[in-house]
Structure 1
């Protein structure tokens, strides 16, 4: 019974993750000012972490945390390169779809995302990821 309940919660978590990835990939409202768009993306990424962490989806948490770090460091007056958010969201979509045994693919995705972080946040911990 406990396993059935846990599986149902994991399905719910995956749905939450998928919805937040879709929100990150959605075409933005043209009337949404930059600080609110940054906040919305940060919220979506945070919700991915919240949904993924209880189920040891560490790669999704790492990707979402990296995006949170980038969004947190973004200039509030505009100028954030939104392609970075799109790349992270697409990577999270792939991570969500990969079977657990595809560790090499997961590692490659996280390595590439870490490289984005390293380039965009020079103070980022070089050993992380």
Structure 2
């Protein structure tokens, strides 16, 4: 029987990986969470600013102006998602995304029902003020917003349907 042997060369990468140093995954995750926690206060401030700006928007006076005002509402809602997402504020993200979906589905040749923006701004304010343990109320608020989406955009079904 013949046995063939050869010397295996270690790659440079495997040599680097085997050397001590660097940071373990657990330590890196802990550091990332600590860094993120430092920004949570600023994130909440941004969310509050965007919700306040959304609430201050006035309905368009004409069909021509509607697109501009809806773009502003969409931008404020998107900013809420951007600020809330890293902190897993899923209820705020869901409410803001619901408004974005409604704006996306709005027909360009018809006036937009501005009550939708007003209700979403109020819902976002409510979600911001609710205590963390008010899960049932949060669920009810989000379900009501989803009902608005279903009523205004026939044939749409949410991810939980």
TM-score, length-scaled by structure 1? 0.88
In the alignment, which residue of structure 2 is the partner of 1:8? 38
Unpaired runs of 5+ residues, structure 2, are 1-29
- Report if aligned partners of 1:46, 1:64 keep a CA contact under 8 Å in 2: yes
1:75 matches 2:107 = yes
85, 97, 107: which one pairs with 1:65?
97
Task: Please list, as runs of the form range in 1=range in 2, the aligned pairs for 1:1-129 lying within 5 A after superposition.
Answer: 2=31, 5-28=35-58, 33-126=65-158, 128=160
Provide the rounded CA distance (Å) in 2 between the counterparts of 1:114 and 1:29: 22
> 1:125 Cα deviation (Å)?
1.1
CA root-mean-square deviation: 2.2
Provide the rounded CA distance (Å) in 2 between the counterparts of 1:29 and 1:84: 11
Larger radius of gyration: 2
In terms of mean alpha carbon deviation, does 24-33 or 76-85 score higher?
24-33
> Could you say what secondary structure the match of 2:144 adopts?
helix
- Report if aligned partners of 1:35, 1:77 keep a CA contact under 8 Å in 2: no
TM-score, length-scaled by structure 2? 0.72
Provide the rounded CA distance (Å) in 2 between the counterparts of 1:91 and 1:66: 11
Aligned residues: 129
> Could you say what secondary structure the match of 1:122 adopts?
coil
Provide the rounded CA distance (Å) in 2 between the counterparts of 1:56 and 1:126: 19
Q: Deviations over 1:19-76 (max 9, x none)?
A: 1111111042867811110100000000000111100000111100000000111123
Unpaired runs of 5+ residues, structure 1, are none
Provide the rounded CA distance (Å) in 2 between the counterparts of 1:101 and 1:91: 17
